[in-house]
Amino acid sequence: MNSFRQRIAIVLSALAILTLTACERPPIEAKQTGYRGTGMDQINNPRTDAQLAKINQLPASISASPDGPRAGDVYKNVKVLNNLSQEQFTTFMVSMTAWVSPKEGCAYCHNVQNFADDSLYTKTVSRRMIQMNQTINANWGDHVKETGVTCYTCHRGNNVPQNVWFNPVEKRGGNMLGNTNGQNDPIKTVGYASLPNQPFKDYFVANSRAARVNGDTALPTGHKASIQETENVYGVMMHMSNSLGVNCTYCHNSRAFSNWEQSTPQRVQAWYGIQMLKDVNSSYITPLTSIHPADHKGPDGDIAKANCTTCHQGVNKPLLGKSMLKDYPYLAAPAKKASADSMQTAKK
């Protein structure tokens, strides 16, 4: 009998292990950020810190003197960084190659037989991305603060950043299920939640609606969100939480989620981040659709766009809050607010 009970215990233990494999295992650290009883704790797992630190390491930086002849006077067809010194310009080209195309080298953007040639679409794209960096650093300080961004913040050695999104296409789960709205198909994008897994088209492009469904009264008044809209909002909130490696209470007060006065300062910074995504996706990225090859586009014919994970990659401050702008100050140069057709400046 004892032997039988032991076998049963072993089987139950094995089943418990299999059941809990998707749960976060210890050790964990909890830091209280609000009043007791509100559940406002930030959970951190030291076991994953080393991996996140590796992902968010700074690359080697190269400083350069601003003195000497201007790049626009030395090289032909320099349209965006022509005011840099020759040393700054060549240093930045080497750095950008390491950030974006370490395998392909200069040939990823340039005709190496004629560097002034504009025939490769990647050269036009790179010009616009430099301008996008300058705009973010100049106009979106409410989100990026003094740390700012560079090409490396998103690319991390990849031609296309690893964490991007395309427009969703309707998926049908059978004649009876109809449009599943991307549900029950858990992916990392929304923290493996059983929620719509591509909610970004509704919130991360120009003129999209606010990601908000909670009312501010006890009974429903005014706008009443549909179940589908509510699920989309929760999907994008799960995405933000997973992207930054934080809990909901990093931005929200758990006793009054919709109340801005009782929220943490990070909620305002996150709001500016959403507005920034709308700007860069609509003003800089989407206008480049027509020059991209078909195999770089999604099922809907759109190109890869940015979301929170594109920069953050699992930490609340990209690259753990370390700035690269001291070695590349020209990426923080003042920039005008972009218009939808301003891509033409990169072609002229």
Bind-site residues for heme: 93, 106, 109-110, 129, 143, 151, 154-155, 237, 248, 251-252, 308, 311-312
Q: Do 267 and 252 meet the contact criterion of CB atoms below 8 Å apart?
A: yes
> Counting runs of H as helices and runs of E as strands, what totals does the chain give?
10, 4
Provide the residue type at 27 as one letter.
P
**Nearest CA-CA partner of 33 in 49, 44, 25:** 44
Which of 113, 108, 147 minimizes the C-alpha distance to 129? 108
Q: Which residues are annotated as a binding site?
A: 93, 106, 109-110, 129, 143, 151, 154-155, 237, 248, 251-252, 308, 311-312
Phi/psi-derived region of residue 277, left when phi > 0, alpha when psi is between -120 and 50, beta in every other case:
alpha
Distance CA 235, CA 185 (A): 12
Euclidean distance between CA atoms 275 and 293, whole angstroms: 28
Query: Which stretches within the chain are classed as H helix?
Result: 2-19, 46-55, 71-74, 86-100, 121-139, 141-144, 151-155, 227-244, 265-280, 308-312
Q: Which residue has the tokens 């996150």?
A: 270
Q: How far apart are CA 214 and CA 209, in angstroms?
A: 14
**Spatial CB neighbours of 295, under 8 Å, sequence gap ≥ 6:** none
Structural Rg of the chain based on CA atoms: 24
In the block, tokens 């200069």 appear at: 106
Phi then psi dihedrals of residue 190, to 5 deg: -115, 35
CB 244 within 8 A of CB 191: no
Beta pairing partners, 70? 85
* CA pair distance 25, 213, nearest whole angstrom: 32
